[in-house]
């Protein structure tokens, strides 16, 4: 079976999700071709074990993100089963590539098996769907849900220049960059809810995040009421995350929030209400106020 992986990059280098996509393909017996938008991280992609070839796509259309232009450039390089990360860019480009190729797309997969059998959560995480696709398709995979391929590869790199073939609709993208990790990409997340009492108290979570290399998330309630950036929101109407560790501080655990984080590998809940629904999905629970638990956590981390 032929596989194509659409690489992800961040901060001028290859993102770790690319190795996870390669790992997923390799687990099904594939030796994928990795297509690298903008050529960012092509050399890194070539060193991932199991990669058969790297296609470094360069051209003006990759100067900023334009889903239509990127799909037009990438689609001719895609064959067989196409794997992309379930990120905002990966979902859009994957859907557009599927439309151009006239094949099915399945978003947010959390497991793959031979066949291709795809497992993914549906109905806000209240149910799990298993489906089988025969033939070519596009699948987006949740970050941290698949084991990453190791190093040691030496795949050849082919450079394809799309400058003369693809135009862009977006000429310039201006945005204030965040210095903090995106919750959708982080391996560790510490999130806060109404139990923190005020927006200002998120600085305590930021201090913990800086100590352990985590992203800071938030429930919908505090995003709506306290004016926190929507990019921090975890849940049904925010971002779906699958980190190795999710720490929920002062979050009661409404179903909309659980839908966005219950697939985390380990969940630690800190809440003063022992009946809070968050404890129903937590691997470890601490019944305490944030004022009691967070300073103790900071002190323990500082002593390491």
What's the rounded Cα separation, in Å, for the pair 290 and 270? 7
Residue 172 burial (CB < 10 Å; 0-12/13-18/19+)? Answer: exposed
CB-based contact 246:271 (threshold 8 Å)? no
CATH number of 3-161: 3.30.300.30, 3.10.580.10, 3.40.50.261, 3.40.50.620?
A: 3.40.50.620
**Matching fold, domains 3-161 and 188-302:** yes
What's the rounded Cα separation, in Å, for the pair 304 and 102? 54
To the question of domain 188-302 being in CATH 3.40.50.1220, the answer is yes
**pLDDT tens column, 156-174:** 999 999 876 776 655 555 5
Residue 7 burial (CB < 10 Å; 0-12/13-18/19+)? Answer: buried
pLDDT by position in tens, the chain (length 304): 899 999 999 888 999 899 999 999 999 999 999 999 999 999 999 999 999 999 999 988 898 888 999 999 999 999 999 999 998 899 999 999 999 999 999 999 999 998 899 999 887 677 889 999 989 999 999 888 899 999 999 999 999 998 767 766 555 555 554 567 889 888 999 999 999 999 999 999 999 999 999 999 999 999 999 999 988 999 988 888 989 999 999 999 999 899 889 989 999 999 999 999 999 999 999 999 999 999 999 999 999 8
**pLDDT tens column, 237-288:** 888 898 999 999 999 999 989 988 998 999 999 999 999 999 999 999 999 9
pLDDT of residue 123: 78
Angle, helices 88-101 vs 67-74, to 10°: value is 50
Ordered by start, the domain boundaries in the chain are: 3-161, 188-302
* C-beta atoms surrounding 199 within 10 Å: 14
Is the C-alpha dihedral spanning 149, 151, 154, 160 positive or negative? positive
For 118, the 3-state DSSP assignment is strand
């Amino acid at each position: 079976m032929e596989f194509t992986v659409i690489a992800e990059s961040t901060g001028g280098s290859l993102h770790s999700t690319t190795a996870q996509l390669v790992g997923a393909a390799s687990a099904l017996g594939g030796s994928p071709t990795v297509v690298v938008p903008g050529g960012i991280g092509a050399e890194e992609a070539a060193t991932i074990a199991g990669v058969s070839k790297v296609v470094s796509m360069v051209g003006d259309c990759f100067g900023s993100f334009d889903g239509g232009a990127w799909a037009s450039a990438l689609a001719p390089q895609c064959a067989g089963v196409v794997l992309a990360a379930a990120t905002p860019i990966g979902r859009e480009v994957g859907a557009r590539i599927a439309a151009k190729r006239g094949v099915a797309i399945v978003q947010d997969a959390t497991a793959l098996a031979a066949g291709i059998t795809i497992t993914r959560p549906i109905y806000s995480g209240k149910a799990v769907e298993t489906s089988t696709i025969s033939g070519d398709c596009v699948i987006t995979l949740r970050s941290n849900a698949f084991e990453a391929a190791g190093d040691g590869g030496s795949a050849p790199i082919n450079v394809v220049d799309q400058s003369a073939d693809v135009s862009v609709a977006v000429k310039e993208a201006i945005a204030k960059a965040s210095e903090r990790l995106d919750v959708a990409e982080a391996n560790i997340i510490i999130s806060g809810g109404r139990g923190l009492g005020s927006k200002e108290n998120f600085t305590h979570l930021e201090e913990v995040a800086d100590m352990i290399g985590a992203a800071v998330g938030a429930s919908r309630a505090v995003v709506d009421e306290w004016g926190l950036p929507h990019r921090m929101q975890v849940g049904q109407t925010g971002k779906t995350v699958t980190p190795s560790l999710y720490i929920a501080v002062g979050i009661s655990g409404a179903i909309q929030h659980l839908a966005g984080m219950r697939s985390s590998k380990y969940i630690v809940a800190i809440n003063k209400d022992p009946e809070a629904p968050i404890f129903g999905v937590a691997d470890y629970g601490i019944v305490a106020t944030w004022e009691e638990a967070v300073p103790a956590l900071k002190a323990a981390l500082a002593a390491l």
